[in-house]
Amino acid sequence: MILDIFFPNRCIHCNKIIDGNSLVCNLCFEQIHFTHFNFFENNYIKEKCKLLFPIENAFSLMQFEKESLSRKIIHELKYKSREKVGKVLAEWTTDHLDFKNEKPDLLVSVPLHSKKLKERGYNQLHLFTETLSKFYEIPFSHDLMKRNHYSKAQALKDKEHRLATENTFSITKKISGKHILMIDDVFTTGNTISSIAWEILKAGDNKVSVLVMAMDE
C-alpha cells in the first residue's frame, strides 16, 4: 500500500523497518524478558496473589522492569493509541500459555471507567482478550465488572493511593459455579486484581485465576 511506502512500520525499540503486523524486529524481540511461567504451578505472581485472595492459577507473559522493552511495549498500547499491540501480545501469549484440558470458563478484562474509556478511545485489554478468546475458544466478558470511580493512571499514583481500592469495582450480573480468568495489563501491588477477585468470589461458588501482560516486581 502507498501508506506502507511513505509511513513504513518500524520497530518500537531500534526504529528498523519491519513487517506491518510486527512490533519489534527479530533482534529486539530477543531482548524481551518473557517469564516462562507454568500456569498450573507456583510462580511469583501466584504467590503474590495468594497473599490477597484465594487463587487457582496465574500467568504473566513478561517482566516489567524499569527502562525495559516490555515496559515500552505496554506504554505503546496504553498511551500511544496503538490498540493493535494488544493483538500481538495475545499472539505471544498463545505461544507461552497452554491450558491443556483445564480451560477457564470465562475471560474477564479489567474495566476502565467510562470517563477514562472516552479519553483513551479504547480499553487496552479488549483486543487482547478477544484474540485469546478466539484462539482458546473460551467466551469473554468486557462488562461483567464495572469500575465505580474515575482515577488517574496507576503509573502516576503513589503507593498509598494504589492501596486504596475498596469499592472500586462492582459485579454487574449474577454468576456462579464458574472458573473466571481475570485479565489485566500490568500486575504491580495486586490490589486491582484483588478487588475484582473478591467481588467474583462473593458472587457465588466461583474460582479465580489471573493472566497479565507483564508483572512489575
- C-alpha span between 169 and 99 (Å, rounded): 27
- Classify residue 34 by burial, with Cβ atoms within 10 Å: 0-12, 13-18, 19+: middle
Write the pLDDT tens digit of every residue in 127-147: 999 999 999 999 999 999 999
Q: Which residues pair with 65 in a beta bridge?
A: none
Cβ distance 14 to 28 under 8 Å? yes
pLDDT band of residue 92 (cuts 50, 70, 90) is very high
Write the pLDDT tens digit of every residue in 187-209: 999 999 999 999 999 999 999 99
How big is the chain, counted in residues? Answer: 217
Write the pLDDT tens digit of every residue in 7-50: 799 999 999 999 888 999 999 999 999 999 999 999 999 999 99
Domain ranges of the chain: 1-31, 33-215
Give the dihedral of Cα atoms 109, 22, 116, 34; nearest 10 deg: 50
Residue-averaged pLDDT of the chain: 90
CA 16 to chain centre: 27
- C-alpha span between 34 and 166 (Å, rounded): 32
* Res 167 pLDDT > 70: yes
Predicted TM-score (pTM) of this structure: 0.89
Total Cβ atoms within 10 A of residue 184: 23
SS (H, E, C) 67-130: CCHHHHHHHHHHHCCCCCHHHHHHHHHHHHCCCCCCCCCEEEECCCCHHHHHHHCCCCCHHHHH
First and final C-alpha spacing in the chain: 42
pLDDT band of residue 162 (cuts 50, 70, 90) is very low
CATH topology of domain 33-215: Rossmann fold (3.40.50)
